[in-house]
Amino acid sequence: MSKKILIIEDDVNIAELLRLYLEKEGFTVAIAGDGGKGITEFERFTPDLVLLDIMLPVMDGWAVLREIRSSSSTPVIMLTAKGETFDKVNGLEMGADDYITKPFDVKELIARIHAVMRRYGKQDESAPKKLVFDKLEINMESYQLIVDGKRVEAPPKEMELLYHLASSPNRVYTRNQLLDEVWGFDYFGDSRTVDVHIKRLREKLEGVSDKWSVKTVWGVGYKFELTE
């Protein structure tokens, strides 16, 4: 069965061009012309990936992304005419999987779609879906974070970052490695998004247990440290 892609884009010419190329690649495609219809179509179509414009009528892309992330970890690639670093960091922190600025090369976009889908598909392989440590449970089947017996709200990217670190205890990752392996694309410029996610995770986890911690390795990056 072919993979399904939902395009949420108000520019009809861009949307139809994308449909043409994506259908040639073997994808099944649906289009929504505004944010409100995008949410409705997302629930009806149940896509495998969403291409989401930021500047949309009815609901903008940020609101649509927030709504999608409230119930789903479906990959989302943001499309926008804006190129400011703030917009890139903002989208990634909210749970977007990649970001491409208009005007873009369709071949590059298709390559990014395949890369995101490959990375997302790896989550379905034989790796354990749940990691358990002292007073900590990271459940990637339900995207639930249990801290000291209580569920703690965490956006998908925070969950994925913590799971990635905790899957290889005591291994040190650089920021660029985490951007590549968790976000799954070459991020040009500011890597603050990793620092922001680590800071938010620490606010939820610090002081819970003396048997593990999210550590900074100065000048290198981060690790999930287990103490003997």
Interval 24-59: pLDDT, tens: 989 999 999 999 999 999 999 999 999 999 889 999
The answer on 190 and 115 residing in a single domain is: no
Cα separation, 154 vs 35, whole angstroms: 24
CATH code of the domain in which 155 resides? 1.10.10.10
E-state strands within 140-190: 144-147, 150-152, 173-174
In the sheet where 144-147 sits, what is the strand order?
A: 130-133, 136-139, 144-147, 150-152
pLDDT band with cut points at 50, 70 and 90 for residue 189 = very low
The residue-averaged pLDDT of 199-215 equals 93
Whether the per-residue pLDDT at 12 is higher than 80: the answer is yes
pLDDT of 93 reads 67
pLDDT band with cut points at 50, 70 and 90 for residue 188 = very low
Whether the per-residue pLDDT at 64 is higher than 90: the answer is yes
Cα separation, 176 vs 186, whole angstroms: 8
pLDDT of 70 reads 84
Nearest to 50 by CA among 83, 15, 11, 1: 15
Nearest to 175 by CA among 217, 213, 112, 117: 217
pTM for the full model? 0.62
pLDDT of 129 reads 79
Question: HSE (CB half, 13 Å, CA atoms) of 138?
Answer: 23
In the sheet where 173-174 sits, what is the strand order?
A: 173-174, 221-226, 212-217
Q: Which of 92-96, 149-153, 157-161, 186-190 has the lowest mean pLDDT?
A: 186-190
The answer on 113 and 157 residing in a single domain is: no
Whether the per-residue pLDDT at 223 is higher than 90: the answer is yes
Share of residues in the chain with pLDDT > 90 (%): 49
* DSSP secondary structure code for residue 193 in this structure: H
The answer on 118 and 46 residing in a single domain is: yes
The residue-averaged pLDDT of 107-136 equals 77
Cα separation, 209 vs 224, whole angstroms: 13
Cβ contacts of 14 within 8 Å, gap of 6 or more:
79, 102
Cα separation, 95 vs 104, whole angstroms: 21
pLDDT of 84 reads 52
Whether the per-residue pLDDT at 153 is higher than 90: the answer is no
Helix and strand totals (H; E) in the chain = 8, 12
Q: Which of 17-21, 118-122, 180-184, 209-213 has the lowest mean pLDDT?
A: 118-122
CATH code of the domain in which 116 resides? 3.40.50.2300
The residue-averaged pLDDT of 194-205 equals 92
Phi and psi, residue 183, nearest 5°:
-85, -30
The answer on 42 and 69 residing in a single domain is: yes
Q: Which range of residues forms the domain containing residue 24?
A: 4-122
Cα separation, 121 vs 75, whole angstroms: 10
Domain boundary among 122, 139, 164: 122
- Looking at every residue in the chain, the average pLDDT score rounds to 85
Interval 85-115: pLDDT, tens: 556 666 666 778 888 888 888 888 888 888 8
Joined together, the tokens standing for residue 35 give 């944010």
Interval 76-85: pLDDT, tens: 998 877 655 5
The answer on 111 and 134 residing in a single domain is: no
The answer on 141 and 113 residing in a single domain is: no
How many domains are there within the chain? Answer: 2
Phi and psi, residue 6, nearest 5°:
-105, 125
